[in-house]
Amino acid sequence: MPSTADALTDADLAEISASFEQSTPAEIVRWATETFGSDLAVAASMEDAVLIDVATKVQPGIDVVFVDTGYHFPETLATAERVRRRYPIELRVVRDESPTDDLWRTDVDACCARRKVAPFDSALRQYAAWMSGLRRADSPERADAPIVTRDGRGLVSIRPLATWDDATTDAYIATNDVVLNPLLFDGYPSIGCGPCTNRVAPGDDPRSGRWAGSGKTECGLNL
């Protein structure tokens, strides 16, 4: 039997996405949970728990997928544990089981593909749709990101926070006492793996510290 994701054409998704331009994240999450039910997951980097906070207010017990690459900062792993304890979620921690190595020194794309993308792709096989905290304000490359689209896996990708700017996000964090990775207060406005993430000077592109000097801007999860 075709899944809900299969039943929705690309034209349907584009129309739905356009209709959400003035919607709140909670309204988008509610549509996603009503449409996909248990076939929906939230992807979390453990940089912050904004989307998790929004999603659990709509659907307590929702699945959250976190990729443990083996190279995360200790603060990121501690944040994952704080999130697990704080919010009503089913936290799924997935990882590549091969020993860590120095591939990141010579080929960051291959390292991301092995340590992050492959485990994530495997975890998503049981779902029809997934939500991420991607925002258009994150970077110039994300400025035109649709709210709802079909990703390269054939799954429906939903970005409930896509239209939020930094001020709106910060206000939500303050009002709701959202769990944050402490590295956000230490010069890391965008947090990935320890070996490839650098501090960023105030006023610089928040994602410029990710894979600095490599020309890489995305890990491949949002394909």
Closest CA to 46 of 111, 93, 103: 93
Which segments of 23-79 are extended strands (E)?
Answer: 40-43, 62-67
Mode of pairing for the β-strands spanning 40-43 and 156-158? unpaired
Dist. CA 169–CA 150, nearest whole Å: 25
Active site residue ranges: 219
- 111 annotated to bind ligand: yes
Query: Is residue 200 within 8 Å of 187, Cβ to Cβ?
Result: yes
pLDDT at 138: 86
Tell me the CATH class for 4-209.
alpha beta
Contacts of 48 (CB under 8 A, 6+ apart): 133, 173, 178, 179, 180, 181, 184
Q: Partners of 176 in the beta sheet?
A: none
23 is an annotated ligand-binding site residue: no
Contact 91, 67 (CB under 8 A): no
pLDDT confidence of residue 122? 96
pLDDT in tens, the chain (223 residues): 346 777 899 999 999 999 999 999 999 999 999 999 999 999 999 999 999 999 999 999 999 999 999 999 999 999 999 999 999 999 999 999 998 899 988 998 999 999 999 999 999 999 999 999 999 998 888 889 999 999 999 999 999 999 999 999 999 999 999 999 999 998 888 899 988 887 664 556 665 656 555 554 554 565 5
pTM for the whole structure? 0.89
Which pair of tokens denotes residue 142? 């994300």
Domain residue extents for the chain:
4-209
193 assigned ligand-binding residue: yes
